[in-house]
């Protein structure tokens, strides 16, 4: 693969989970016209993980780039809108027992400035309302079950993400990939073939024999069949930073189908946290926890109690293991890894599919720029590693900032001596009343989250000086929270009811 090529030749994608089909459609969209042949192989004996129902606003860009409108995919995937994530129970500090991580846009700038102002005062031990929720329209949209689709009169640009059924979105992307010319094989790979130089050359399958290709994409999930097993790229565990390695998932019906909240709820539990994701037809629930602190049976029991399921309820629970960490190199020889095969950060901020997109988009750019040769592979690998590590840092901070005392799990998470230099510097500047914006901008080259997200988590969890705040001098402007609250509530009238929007979309799609 050293000579300059006209096109990437035959690409074989191994795995038909969300990562496999997202990769297939993105590559087909980018390189279809070059005559690139793309084949996706998946095993019906192994199946897909079938969880992963939350996303980040990057997913919106994914569909936009492919030219697929919300109405053309959401009804098929029981999709709903997501305005942000709410975190109840992570902090016990009075006034900060729950906080909201909003999605925001340039339209939020005046409110963000107001939030910064109060937060800075509070950080300097002065009395000021600094809970981010108050200042972000997105919080009110989520709470009042609105869709983030303003009428033109609102003069507001909302950013948002989605919730969807993990299996249905795979089916949808499959149909669209096949329409773009992607070949599909259902078979199980038994052996991976390599050349004498160590490149991959093909895969032996149960029914189709040897399938050869020029380039391979490993989307085989946690088994990491090509890059982990055949190419033996080392895996860097995040276990020291993130304790959770198990999950138990259980769907429930909507308590009140008429009210469709447009947010993910991530509630702290005794040994981890529980997600609640509203889809059009049901609610996705799950408990992410640490097997060092809790066994499967107790986790399921705690989740059932959290969901208030009656004793005679027989909803089936799915127990899952999570391999948390990342590969040392995502692109090795003639193989790229995407999805769970490349790594996974526990799903607290629903970032896995965002990293899938980042990986595939960056790969296309680098590979294409270098004339479809591996030049730039090292730079690509460093970039993907930075994305992984920076998302890990942000997720880690949720645990580091917790103030719960109820179990050894939370105490250990707070006292965790492992922290990256990036997080150490952020906490140092913040705790000493320094200029965090400058510090975050200094680190911006290797940051996945914006300064506002960092401020929201630090202020939202009430990480302020312990001594009681003083009254500010009269000439110091403090924002009265009633102002932004009132303005946001006023804005709500320009946003439609979430349930009505998704039901209308479905009715239109079905031609009702
Ligand atoms: C508890 C939990 C919650 C999550 N929540 C979120 C979330 O909210 N948001 C988010 O973005 N992500 C989330 N994720 C991650 C998300 O589920 C995955 O990133 C996503 O589903 C992609 O998975 P995948 O395609 O990499 O792997 P899989 O879905 O596991 O697919 C693997 C594929 O490889 C194939 N395969 C494996 N071995 C062979 C073989 N020998 N021969 C042929 N084919 C083979 C399988 O048949 C399958 O098609 C979550 C993950 C977990 C564990």
pLDDT in tens, 266-322: 999 999 999 999 999 999 999 999 999 999 999 999 999 999 999 899 999 999 999
The answer to whether 80 touches 441, Cβ cutoff 8 Å, is no
Percentage of the chain modeled with pLDDT above 90 = 93
pTM score above 0.95:
yes
Q: Which atom of ligand 1 is nearest to the CA of 340?
A: 26
Ligand 1 center to 89 CA (angstroms): 29
Mean pLDDT of 234-253: 98
Question: Model confidence over 69-113: pLDDT tens digits?
Answer: 999 999 999 999 999 999 999 999 999 999 999 999 999 999 999
> What 3-state class would DSSP assign to 460?
helix
Q: Among 454, 433, 432, which residue's Cα sits nearest to residue 443?
A: 454
Reply yes or no on whether the pLDDT at 451 is more than 90: yes
Ligand 1 center to 468 CA (angstroms): 48
Average pLDDT of the chain is 96
The answer to whether 216 touches 206, Cβ cutoff 8 Å, is no
Q: Tell me the sheet residues that pair with 40.
A: 13, 184
For residue 450, the model assigns a pLDDT of 94
Distance CA 288, CA 323 (A): 13
Mean pLDDT of 112-126: 94
Q: CA torsion, points 35, 40, 41, 45, in degrees to nearest 10?
A: -160
The answer to whether 453 touches 102, Cβ cutoff 8 Å, is no
H helix intervals, 241-329:
296-306
**Nearest CA, atom 15, ligand 1:** 52
Reply yes or no on whether the pLDDT at 4 is more than 80: no
CA angle 495, 496, 499 (to 5 degrees): 140
For residue 266, the model assigns a pLDDT of 98
Distance CA 145, CA 263 (A): 8
Paired tokens of 408: 């050894």
CA angle 481, 482, 486 (to 5 degrees): 120
Tell me, rounded to whole angstroms, the distance of Cα 373 from its chain centroid: 30
For residue 2, the model assigns a pLDDT of 43
Q: Ligand 1: which of 15, 192, 299, 341 to mutate, most ligand atoms within 8 Å of CB?
A: 15
Q: Ligand 1: which of 51, 101, 217, 250 to mutate, most ligand atoms within 8 Å of CB?
A: 51
**Nearest CA, atom 6, ligand 1:** 52
CATH code of 10-53+165-238+324-390, in short, is 3.50.50.60
Q: Which atom of ligand 1 is nearest to the CA of 47?
A: 47
Q: Ligand 1: which of 26, 173, 221 to mutate, most ligand atoms within 8 Å of CB?
A: 221
Reply yes or no on whether the pLDDT at 1 is more than 60: no
Active site residue 176: no
Which is more confidently placed, 100 or 445? 100
For residue 459, the model assigns a pLDDT of 97
The answer to whether 271 touches 289, Cβ cutoff 8 Å, is yes
Mean pLDDT of 138-147: 97
Ligand 1 center to 281 CA (angstroms): 22
- Residues 37, 58, 71, 82: which is the catalytic one? 82
Mean pLDDT of 467-482: 91
Reply yes or no on whether the pLDDT at 5 is more than 70: no
**Nearest CA, atom 51, ligand 1:** 52
Ligand 1 center to 412 CA (angstroms): 30
**Nearest CA, atom 53, ligand 1:** 322
Mean pLDDT of 168-177: 97
Reply yes or no on whether the pLDDT at 252 is more than 90: yes
Question: Model confidence over 179-210: pLDDT tens digits?
Answer: 999 999 999 999 999 999 999 999 999 999 99
Percentage of the chain modeled with pLDDT above 70 = 99
Domain boundaries, the chain: 10-53+165-238+324-390, 246-250+259-321
Tell me how far apart the terminal alpha carbons of the chain are, to the nearest angstrom: 53
pLDDT band at 511 (very low <50, low <70, confident <90, very high): confident
Ligand 1 center to 329 CA (angstroms): 19
Mean pLDDT of 359-363: 98
Residues with CB under 6 A from ligand 1: 14-20, 41-43, 46-49, 51-55, 166, 188-189, 219-221, 223, 225, 247, 286, 320, 322, 339-341, 347, 350, 352-353
pLDDT band at 258 (very low <50, low <70, confident <90, very high): very high
Mean pLDDT of 429-451: 91
**Nearest CA, atom 20, ligand 1:** 18
């Amino acid at each position: 693969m050293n000579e300059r090529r006209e096109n990437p030749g035959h690409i074989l994608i191994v795995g038909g989970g969300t990562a496999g089909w997202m990769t297939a459609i993105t590559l087909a969209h980018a390189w279809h016209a070059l005559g690139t042949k793309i084949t996706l192989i998946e095993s019906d004996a192994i199946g897909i993980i079938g969880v992963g129902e939350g996303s980040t606003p990057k997913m919106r860009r994914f569909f936009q780039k492919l030219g697929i409108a919300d109405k053309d995919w959401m009804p098929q995937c029981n999709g709903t809108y997501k305005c942000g994530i709410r975190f109840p129970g992570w902090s016990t500090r009075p006034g900060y027992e729950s906080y909201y991580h909003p999605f925001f846009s340039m339209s939020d700038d005046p409110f963000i400035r107001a939030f910064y102002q109060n937060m800075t005062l509070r950080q300097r031990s002065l009395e000021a309302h600094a809970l981010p929720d108050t200042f972000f329209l997105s919080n009110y949209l989520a709470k009042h079950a609105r869709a983030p689709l303003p009428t033109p009169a609102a003069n507001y640009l909302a950013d948002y993400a989605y919730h969807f059924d993990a299996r249905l979105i795979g089916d949808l992307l499959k149909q669209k990939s096949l329409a773009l010319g992607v070949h599909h094989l259902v078979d199980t790979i038994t052996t991976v073939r390599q050349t004498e130089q160590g490149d991959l050359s093909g895969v032996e399958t149960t029914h189709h024999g040897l399938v050869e290709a020029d380039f391979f994409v490993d989307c085989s999930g946690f088994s990491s069949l090509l890059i982990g097993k055949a190419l033996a790229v080392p895996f860097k565990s995040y276990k020291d930073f993130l304790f959770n390695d198990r999950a138990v998932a259980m769907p429930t019906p909507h308590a009140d189908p008429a009210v469709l909240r447009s947010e993910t709820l991530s509630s702290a539990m005794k040994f981890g946290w529980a997600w609640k994701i509203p889809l059009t037809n049901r609610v996705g629930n799950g408990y992410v926890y640490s097997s060092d602190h809790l066994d499967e049976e107790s986790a399921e029991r705690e989740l059932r109690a959290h969901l208030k399921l009656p004793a005679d309820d027989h909803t089936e629970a799915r127990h899952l293991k999570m391999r948390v960490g990342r590969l040392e190199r995502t692109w090795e020889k003639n193989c790229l890894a995407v999805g769970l095969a490349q790594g996974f950060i526990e799903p607290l901020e629903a970032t896995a599919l965002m990293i899938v997109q980042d990986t595939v988009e960056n790969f296309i750019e680098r590979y294409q720029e270098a004339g479809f040769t591996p030049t730039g592979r090292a730079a690509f690998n460093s970039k993907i590693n930075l994305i992984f590590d920076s998302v890990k840092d942000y997720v880690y901070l949720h645990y580091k900032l917790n103030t719960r005392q109820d179990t050894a799990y939370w105490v250990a998470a707070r006292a965790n001596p492992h922290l990256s230099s990036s997080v150490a510097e952020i906490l140092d500047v913040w705790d000493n009343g320094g200029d965090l914006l400058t510090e975050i901008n200094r680190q911006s080259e290797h940051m996945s989250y914006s300064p506002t997200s960092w401020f929201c988590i630090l202020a939202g969890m009430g990480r302020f000086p312990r001594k009681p705040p003083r009254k500010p001098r009269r000439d110091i402007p403090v924002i009265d929270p009633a102002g932004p609250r009132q303005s946001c509530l006023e804005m709500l009238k320009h946003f439609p009811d979430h349930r009505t929007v998704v039901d209308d979309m479905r009715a239109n799609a079905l031609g009702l």
